[in-house]
Chains A and B, each alone.
Chain A
Amino acid sequence: MKLGLVIDLDTCVGCHACAVACKQWNTSGTTGPLTDTDPYGAEPGGVWFNRIRHYEVDAFPVSKTVNVPMSCMHCEEAACVTVCPTGASWKREDGIVLVDQNKCMGCNLCAWACPYGARELDPDAGVMKKCTLCVDRINDQRLPEAQRQPACVLTCPTRARMFGDFDDPESDVSVAVRERGGYEMMPELGYKAVNRYLPPRPKPVVEISEQTRGENDVDGGSLIGKWMRRQKAAFDAYGRAPEGGAHGVATPETER
């Protein structure tokens, strides 16, 4: 068994419903609560097993927005398990990587070893927490069989998430990966992530005729051209803090 997720970057609309469903289910699950800090204050924060980031691939006007949900990849070569000094971090026979809350001493080393940011320390409990692949749903015989799926998969409104066994070549996830060219993130580090991402499907190129280009020239002096240039400038400046980027995180600009 090699359980994991397939996430379709073609259909994901970046709505964060999977993250909310994950938080809702798991906060009362086996490794809950997913503690929130300052939940109603100015700087709310807390533990999440699933986070969604939004990227722009390529440059305007041929750019594409890609929404990337990320949770534990349940790696085959899980360094978070081998570096753990207490044995709290472990990998099940079916491939799920878990943290035993009763053994963890909160040294953070597994989070340092994880390239995907899948592990977050609960400052309240002092232990590391992470995606369980909803182990308390998928094996629960009392649930109807159709519901023995991770909460994020069940809730996804665009069906961009799939759960299954990658060891079975005929499972939904294996077929999807085979047919759509599903790939692994940051494969060069050699962690052998199990979760796979399906790339956006190729889309037909929208033709821009020379005539239209002349009239509505983005760089030209026409009224619509000026307006579009302003939009692009505002778009480029969006979300960029004056120095160091928002929350001390590097933005592409500070890197250059």
Chain B
Amino acid sequence: MNPAFSVIFFTATAGTGYGLLILLALSRPFGLLPDISPDQITGTGLLGLVLVTAGLVSSTFHLANPRNAWRSFTRFRTSWLSREAVFAVLFYPLALAWLLAEFLTGATLTSMVLGVLVALLALTVLVCTAMIYASLKTIRQWHHPLVPINFVLLSLLTGTLLLLVMGGVFGLPLGRLAVVAALVIVLAAIVKSVYFVQLGQPAGPTINTAIGFTKASVRLLDVGHSGDTFHTREFGFQVDRARIMWLRVAVIALAFAFPLLVVIGALDGGTWWLWLAVAAASGYAGVFVERWLFFAEARHVVNLYHGAQAT
């Protein structure tokens, strides 16, 4: 699949925003960031909303006819994209209500309940986004149960790293949040590694089932068009194996290994916040590369009709 920058930026940035808001909303009931003040929660929450908004705006750039984007709220019952749009819009009033309650009343039952609801709704949006990809049977690299889990974990990863930076800037004790961050990083690394290994297993339709000749070899003689088509541009994108391997190593180093080292250093709470900022930037860059690979490695079955032997 052709890696569209607007969609990669959307999932990485809005994912960071939702991850940040989930952890921030849960920090009160679970005491992840002791002594955090209502002002600090409100400020960090608004930062999360800015990231979410930047991502959502970017996502509309890949629409060829954005005038009709408002219609995407109408097919909630069948379409994951419609569900994502509805929940993403419902998220704003709830998140603002929570931040207002937090700002005005501090750590009350109302603000905490609202916070938990915000976290659940953010999680729902993330799952809907991931299901847009995971529901497509035409792309076996996306039609995989680990895809939604991976989307949620990587959003939590970049979100937690950003919350650690904010905690560091505010001078709060970071020990508990660092434990959560370390757990999320390790879990995300395991899920991503299993996913990478499973992609290597041959599966799915072949050129034989695609055109229905399953008892003999089939090869393309002529694709029938002389220039690029919508399908070659959208689905024909290819990267060579060596480059994929290097980029996978980059994902593991940037998103998992380096942030984990910094977070382990922060377990006793004594890390300079600039280090955490570098780790957060590294994590975001790693997820950005991961999202690029997520598209680049996806092989749509239409390629079989264009001569690929398998996907």
Which A residues are within 8 Å of any B CB, using their own CB?
16, 43-45, 47-48, 51-59, 65-66, 68, 70, 79, 81-88, 102-109, 111-117, 120-121, 123, 125-127, 183-191, 197, 199, 238-239, 244-252, 255-256
Contacts and interface: CB of A to CB of B under 8 A. Distances in A.
B53 interface: no
Interface stretch (B11-19, B64-72, B191-199): B64-72
Contacts of A117: 231, 302, 305
A57 B309 contact: no
Interface of B: 1, 62-69, 71-75, 78-82, 85, 132, 135-139, 205, 207, 209-213, 216-232, 234, 236-238, 300-303, 305-310
A249 B81 contact: no
Contacts of B221: 54-56, 65, 238-239
Contacts of A199: 212-213
B228 A43 contact: yes
Top 6 closest A-B pairs, CB basis? Answer: A106-B64, A126-B65, A126-B64, A86-B71, A58-B216, A85-B82
A126 B223 CA distance: 25
Contacts of A105: 63-69, 71-72
B227 A87 contact: no
Contacts of B222: 53-54, 239
A108 B138 CA distance: 14
B65 A249 contact: no
B303 A249 contact: yes
Contacts of B301: 115, 186, 189
5 contacts: A16-B224, A83-B135, A115-B205, A199-B213, A239-B222
B232 to A, nearest CB: 5
A47 B237 CA distance: 19
Contacts of B132: 83, 109
A120 B223 CA distance: 16
Contacts of A70: 305
A249 B64 contact: no
B228 A53 contact: no
Given A105-B72, A249-B306, A197 B212 contact: yes
B75 A108 contact: no
B17 to A, nearest CB: 21
- Chain A at the B interface: SS class: loop
A191 B136 CA distance: 12
Contacts of B79: 82-85, 109
B216 A120 contact: no
A98 B80 CA distance: 20
Given A103-B71, A248-B238, A111 B230 contact: yes
A183 B212 contact: yes
A59 B221 CA distance: 12
A88 B71 contact: yes
Given A120-B229, A249-B223, A85 B209 contact: no
Contacts of A190: 137
B87 to A, nearest CB: 12
Contacts of B302: 114-117
Given A81-B78, A112-B234, A252-B219, 20 more contacts: A16-B224, A48-B225, A53-B220, A82-B79, A83-B136, A84-B79, A85-B85, A104-B65, A107-B62, A112-B1, A112-B139, A113-B137, A115-B302, A127-B65, A183-B212, A197-B212, A247-B227, A247-B228, A248-B236, A249-B223
Contacts of B65: 104-106, 125-127
Contacts of B300: 112
A133 B80 CA distance: 28
A183 B226 CA distance: 29
A114 to B, nearest CB: 7
Contacts of A45: 225, 227-229
B307 A185 contact: no
A65 B219 CA distance: 10
A255 B62 contact: no
A82 B78 contact: yes
Contact of B211 (A66, A106, A246, A255): A66
B212 A53 contact: no
Given A117-B302, A255-B310, A59 B217 contact: yes
